[in-house]
Structure 1
Amino acid sequence: MTARGATRAALAAMFAVAGALHFALTDAFAAIVPALVPAPRAVVLVTGALELAFAAAVLVPSMRRGAGVLLALYCVAVLPANVTMALDPALGLGLPPAVLWARVALQLPLIALIVWATRKP
């Protein structure tokens, strides 16, 4: 397996777990949805479904490139929720503040990794 292939597999696993957690911990995820976003529970369920779909799509060659672009944009869109959680560690699912801030700091490298792993060779 190539480095890109291994990265895609890791991304698929990560987003599959994250997507499933949206359904298992819906209320906890709804608590970090920024206040200006309506219907936080519905948003959490939709974003969970999106993460599951992205997890599958990055593994399908004919869908990979488009999925990568959409997944990168999705990561930009959910950044405010990650910042909200870091600013209020009580919302952080029991994670230490340093982990919450690391998650924010790693968002840009994650986006770059998604773009690299899903682009045409």
Structure 2
Amino acid sequence: MTAPAGNSWPRQLARLLLALAYAFVGYVHLRSPQGFLPIMPDWVPYPREVVLATGAAEISGAIGLMIPRLRRAAAWGLAAYAVCVFPANIKHAVESIELSGQVLGWGYHGPRLVAQPVLVWLALWAGGITNWPWRNRAPTP
């Protein structure tokens, strides 16, 4: 199996979908930061400001993914972002925190927690940083 090229249609599609998703979620963070405060771990200082900063980071990363000269930096940033917000996702799941009048069960939280490493990989792959799990193989003589 060979790696899709850096500008292949699967990577372009992944970049576009990832950028749209992060831009939308970033907008929601900026529009309604109070909605994310209940899942912030207690050890996070200035939680409202952190939620606003994460929204700005998501939008910046989304834009950066679409600009070739910024793509790699944006991919690294979005991968790091996905790692940094993981404690909030864990708190949301473990403490069964109500958001918008709903308590989401493990049918949501289980896949969401499993998807977080996939989001890290997807940012790195879409940004052209990794080819894993594909490898460029030299033809055998």
Q: Do the two structures share a fold, i.e. TM-score over 0.5?
A: yes
Equivalent position amino acid for 2:42 in 1: A
Bigger helix share? 1
Larger radius of gyration: 2
Report which stretch shifted further, 94-103 or 43-52: 94-103
Q: What's the CA shift for 1:92?
A: 4.2
**SS of the residue 2:39 aligns to:** coil
Percentage of identical aligned residues: 34
1:84 and 2:91 are equivalent in the alignment: yes
**SS of the residue 1:36 aligns to:** coil
Runs of 4+, deviation exceeding 3 Å: none
CA offset digits 1:72-120 (Å, max 9, x no partner)? 0111011000111111223344362221221111001111111111016
Aligned-residue CA RMSD (Å)? 1.6
Alignment length (residue pairs): 121
Could you tell me which residue of structure 2 aligns to residue 96 of structure 1? Answer: 104
Could you tell me which residue of structure 2 aligns to residue 9 of structure 1? Answer: 16
**SS of the residue 2:36 aligns to:** helix
Q: TM-score, normalised by structure 2?
A: 0.79
Q: TM-score, normalised by structure 1?
A: 0.91
